[in-house]
Structure 1
Amino acid sequence: MGCGVGPVPLALVSLVVEIIEKKCNELKCKEDLHQEPTIQIYMNDLPSNDYKLLFKDLLNLEILKRDEVVPLCLFKAVPGSFYDTLFPLNTLHFVHSSYALHWLSQEPMELYNKQGEAINKGNIYISEKSEENVAKAYLGQFQRDFTQFLKCRTKEVVSKGFMLLTTRGRQSLTNSSTWQPFELNILTNAITCLFHEGLIKEESVDKMNFPVYIASEEEIGSIIKKEGSFEIKYSNTTVNEVGSEIVDKWEKAQFLAKYIGAFSKSLISHHFGQHILHLLHHKLVYHAFQHLLHAFPTQNCAVTFLLQKR
């Protein structure tokens, strides 16, 4: 779910094939052709995803090009939002999503008053300068979306089937009303800089609300328990430093600018225009460097849940 392109879906497919092939060898499936399994793998993302590149990379995986017998793999693209029903009833044995479920189906409508005016002016996400109801609006939208995700998967996952979900998260001790991930802090500073230089309009900045919610393990667990279709078998929160292997601050700032641009450029270009991307990149490098000079952390927190359908 939310497969995208690149190493993540490729690594998952390789791992699944490797594990099932090992199990086949243990059970001596090769001696009985009727026992040899077929793996059907559905790759889901929005219709705008580069499925052509994804399938080109998948078909070039070394584990699928070997001469010896491996489980037959059938790949299918399933374009669409994972907040909708995508598969026939009771067909999925295992669902995996990596760093996708923090994306909301839309920006929270509560971020505008009855007159249609933005209430989170000067910010693109929750910040210390935001009104208290901004955090409530984001949490409310996440609760609705994640509940909808669970309800859709309940129909599609077989009895006792599993879901392994990893999403961008935050540590439990952080304050949901004021906490902002470092990358959105840098992005906000870069956008604000472009506004002060007269390169983008104030109204456009005020109406830019990043459609993500960075939830804690407790918030996600609470939604899962309330929806009730899945049992939590395992949950965990891990923290790592982004670009920890890069020592030079300027080099790391350039890396962080590319890191932020990778997930934000499509939204930024849609909201402000394609022409702003080149200028924004230079601002991102500068503000990432300032972030590092002040020894602020560049931590990435991940929340993982293993769920089994009741």
Structure 2
Amino acid sequence: MSDFISNFWSNYVAVASLLSILGCVLLLWLTARKRVASDADNTTGHVWDEDLRESNNPLPMWWVGLFILTIVFSVGYLAVFPGLGSFAGTQAWSSRAEYQADVAKATQALEPVYARYTPLSIEEAARDPQARAIGERLFMNNCAQCHGSDARGSKGFPNLTDADWLHGGAPEKIVESITKGRVGVMPPAAAMVGSPDDVKNVANYVLSLSGEPHDSVRAGLGKSKFAACAACHGIGGVGNPALGAPRLNDRIWLHGYGEAAIVQIINEGKHSAMPAQEGRLTEAQIKLLASYVWGMSNPSTTSATSTGTP
């Protein structure tokens, strides 16, 4: 309730809640005062199925008491807990604070588990079976939604099991990516390349860099126009990890393959983002997660003898 950004909605919820309680009180009071005229046999005169008559008996007091208790409880609840628009209640309780307290409690309880791996480097943790098991669970809970449970990614989401890294695959770079997140922006470049025909020529030149099927005539014409792209992707499409610009001279296509896909990216640009895990995961969790990711792209190192606790 207190997350509303408009005072109108806060007031609307508060008024609706109070009117609902007041309505229940009035309904209970009016029905208690009203007396239905009854016949001598204490019935209301309503008859169903020829012989089924409605008696004019008041509600049992225990039933009336339940209605009263419900009203009292609702008033007390709205006074203590949030429910009246932006009013936070006398206890200032919130689901966010409750969640943060639970996370802090769980983090404290898990500190001894992660402390065992603090002395290990990323490479050593990647060779420790228990550390890898913890890293795998962290990956499944925090990364698999985008990169897939097998970490092979999909269109728009990088494959983490190969040696192709947009921002570098060194352990410290993986830690940096997980901690701070990444934002990738390629601006629309059609205006810099030239005419729509020039864009197609550049697309075919990019295809030729990776040895993919292409129109060699168009590729030859697009080589000089590629200069507008080389500022980020490098001469020959070698990529630039400092900018997060992908290599264009391999056969790894993050946002789609073929002339049409490349033309679309040149015309429209591309924006992608990986959220930062800093604040969500502890430093120890990020370290084990990074070791698991690094190990998936360096499988030969993880098959070595474990250096951690057996």
Question: Higher helix share goes to which structure?
Answer: 2
Q: TM-score, normalised by structure 1?
A: 0.20
Question: Higher strand share goes to which structure?
Answer: 1
Structure of greater Rg: 2
Q: TM-score, normalised by structure 2?
A: 0.20
